[in-house]
Every structure is written in structure tokens, then in C-alpha cells.
Structure 1
Amino acid sequence: MSEPSEFKTLSERIDVLETRLTFQDETIETLNQTITAQWKQIDALTRQIAALNERVQEAEAQAPAPSNERPPHY
């Protein structure tokens, strides 16, 4: 039995939509993986900046106070 042309067109349209949906699903999954990797990297960099900031603050607290003496070359 052959399908009427309307159904064939509808069937083709459904096939095209299914193909597009599959492609979109793959794209969404790829983007999700990319975003997840970026958030992990952002989190690691944020922790690293916090640690460096803490080290700078400790170094500033331990540094001797600046003196008002003239440098020796004067």
C-alpha cells in the first residue's frame, strides 16, 4: 500500500524534526560538559586567588613599618 503524498510529506517533516532534535540534544550535552568544565576551572581559580590574597595580607602584616629616614645615597 502506498502512502498518500500528504502523509509522505508529514513523514518527511517528522524525520527532519527528529534529526534536528537529535542534533540539538547532542549540542546541549556538549555545551553542558563545557560549562561544567569551566565552572570547575573558575572554582579552582577563585580558591587560588583567595589563597594568594591571604598570603599577601600575611606578608603585609609581617612587613616592617616604613621608616621616614632618608635613603643612604643622599
Structure 2
Amino acid sequence: MDEKRIIDLEIRFSHLDDFIDQLNKIVTDQQRTIDRLEKEILDLKRSATGGSGVDSTRSLKDDKPPHY
């Protein structure tokens, strides 16, 4: 192979390597976001059922309106 072709391949490899690093960072950030959102959903489910799930028959109709 001639020298120019090797240099071109090295440049392309360098760009691809950088691109893979960028994609890896994006995927890592997205996984952190997914984990955080899953935790929030679980927390909301727990708070909607009263925390322990013991009082699952409770309804919003049982709550007094804020003006009482």
C-alpha cells in the first residue's frame, strides 16, 4: 500500500474511534436517565398506594378538599 492510503486509513480510524466514544457517552447518559426515571416511577407508585400498600382501598374521594 502506498503511504497516502495508510495515512487516510489512520485518519478514518481516528474519526471512527472518536465517534464511538461519543456514542458510548450518549448511551451511558441515556442509561442513567432511564435508571433515574424508573426509580421515580417506583417512588410514585409507592406514594400512590400509601407507601406500604396496606391501605390500597383508599381513594382520592376520601380526601378532604383543600378548603376544609
TM-score in terms of structure 1 length:
0.67
- Mapped to 1, the partners of 2:39 and 2:57 lie a distance apart of 23
Bigger RCO (CA 8 Å, 6+ sep): 2
Amino acid at match of 1:43: D
Q: CA deviation at 1:62?
A: 5.6
Amino acid at match of 1:55: S
Q: How many residues were matched structurally?
A: 57
| Equivalent in the alignment of 2:9 | 17
* Structure (1 or 2) with the greater helix fraction: 1
Alignment map for 1:35-46 (pairs within 5 Å): 35-46=27-38
CA RMSD of aligned residues (A): 2.2
Uncovered stretches (5+) of structure 2, i.e. residues with no partner: 62-68
SS in 2 for 1:58: coil
Q: Percent identity?
A: 28
Runs of 4+ in 1 over 4 A off after TM superposition: none
Uncovered stretches (5+) of structure 1, i.e. residues with no partner: 1-6, 67-74
| Equivalent in the alignment of 2:23 | 31
SS in 2 for 1:61: coil
TM-score in terms of structure 2 length:
0.72
SS in 1 for 2:56: helix
- Mapped to 2, the partners of 1:58 and 1:25 lie a distance apart of 50
Q: CA deviation at 1:57?
A: 1.9
